[in-house]
Amino acid sequence: MGLKIWLNDGLVEESEAKISVFDHGLLYGDGVFEGIRVYDGKVFELQSHLERLYRSARAIRLSLPVAMETLADQVRQTVGANEINDGYIRLLVTRGTGTLGLNPLVCKQAQVIIIADEIELYPRELYEKGLRVISANTMRNHPLTVSPQIKSLNYLNNILAKLEALDRGMLEAIMYNHMGYVAEATGDNVFLVQNGRLLTPPVEAGSLDGITRQVVIRLARDNGYEVVEQNLTRFNLYDAEEIFLTGTAAEVIGIVEIDGRQVGSGKPGPVTMELLEKFEAYVRS
Ligand code: PMP
């Protein structure tokens, strides 16, 4: 038995969950999405994810066919139908079926797809050993192209940077913006620790307004850390006491090497490990 997938107005069997080859989500990456976690059967930060989804949709002039509360209910129904206790939800809204031309206005009906499944996590030992990363040559999308604040179905910019990392035997790459400031990793936000303070780029530097980022900022402040959003350079990363990434799938993960330079002691630092612990406790509280 496959999964039960939400497709527009109801749940269907995975084998029946099909969309048109003329869907502009496929033809042009024209659509928006969210990746959301389920912890102990509860959808984590659903309201924040839905708000981001609707903001992304608004930015690309895509009108969602359902109200936010209805969509929240559909997400929960999909999780329930698949009996997901700890897992991952992929919520997509595509522009819908159109013609081969670019014109989105001919697509009359946006398609809503909700997939709730088990999650593939980084192996536990990576959280103890930390990740090695490189600086990508591929620049993060300029904010006047597709704003990195839009979580769109077109991830080619990130994929090109990810390929650079994979080519060098690493899992992640740091992306910089058109001014040379740190933007984000290919699927995660970036933080560093310097003199006991947490620094992270403002979203205007070219990053997604990560939900995990917001939660970690809150947890850090609640635990007495100063958190400053400011532009960061590659030198700031080389000079950092600790670096870590935040994201829905990765949660909080330490970086121990960047561009061949060891970060801190070469193991995830104490602030990183403390915040990972606090985050893990919070998601199940
Ligand atoms: N940046 C990018 C490019 C992402 O795709 C993601 C989500 N995987 C993030 C940052 C982290 O955001 P969130 O914490 O909301 O998952």
Looking up tokens 């007495």, which residue turns up?
A: 224
What CATH number is given to the structural domain containing 209? 3.20.10.10
Judge if 20 and 147 occupy the same domain. Answer: no
Q: Which of 117, 138, 154 corresponds to the end of one domain?
A: 117
pLDDT in tens, 30-86: 999 999 999 999 999 999 999 999 999 999 999 999 999 999 999 999 999 999 999
Report the number of distinct structural domains present in the chain: 2
pLDDT of residue 52: 98
CA distances from 106 to 56, 57, 65, 110 (A): 20, 17, 16, 11
Q: Give ∠ CA 39-7-90 in degrees, rounded to 5.
A: 35
- Atom 10 (ligand 1): residue with closest C-alpha? 188
Residue range 140-161: mean pLDDT, rounded: 97
Domain encompassing residue 40: 4-117
- Measured from the Cα of 247, ligand 1's closest atom is 14
What is the token pair recorded at 68? 């936010």
pLDDT, mean of residues 268-280: 98
Q: What distance in Å separates the CA atoms of residue 130 and residue 245, rounded to the nearest whole number?
A: 10
Arithmetic mean of pLDDT, 104-127: 94
For residues 147-153, average pLDDT: 97
Domain match, 10 and 83 both: yes
pLDDT of residue 148: 97
Which of 75, 100, 117 is a domain's end point? 117
Question: Do 161 and 69 belong to one domain?
Answer: no
Q: Does the pLDDT of residue 1 top 80, yes or no?
A: no
Residues 158 and 266 in one domain: yes
Q: Is residue 155 over pLDDT 80?
A: yes
The CATH number of residue 48's host domain is 3.30.470.10
| Closest atom of ligand 1 to CA, residue 151 | 5
Same domain, residue pair 253 and 144: yes
- Residue 282 C-alpha to ligand 1 middle, in angstroms? 19
* Same domain (yes/no): 131, 269: yes
Query: Whole-number mean pLDDT of the chain?
Result: 97
Query: Are 145 and 234 in a shared domain?
Result: yes
What residues act catalytically? 151
- Domain end point (choices 100, 117, 134): 117
Give the whole-number percent of the chain exceeding pLDDT 90.
Answer: 98
Nearest CA to ligand 1 atom 3: 187
Q: How confident is the model at residue 4 (pLDDT cuts 50, 70, 90)?
A: very high
| Domain co-membership, 147 together with 101 | no
54 to 34, 46, 62, 214: CA distances (angstroms): 10, 12, 9, 18
Please check whether residues 89 and 9 belong to one and the same domain. Answer: yes
**What would the pLDDT profile of 193-236 be if each residue is shown by its tens digit?**
999 999 999 999 999 999 999 999 999 999 999 999 999 999 99
Q: Are residues 138 and 275 in the same domain?
A: yes
Residues 15 and 93 grouped into a single domain:
yes
Q: How far does the centroid of ligand 1 lie from the alpha carbon of residue 206, in Å? A: 12
Same domain, 163 and 279: yes
Burial of 172 (0-12, 13-18, 19+ CB in 10 A): buried
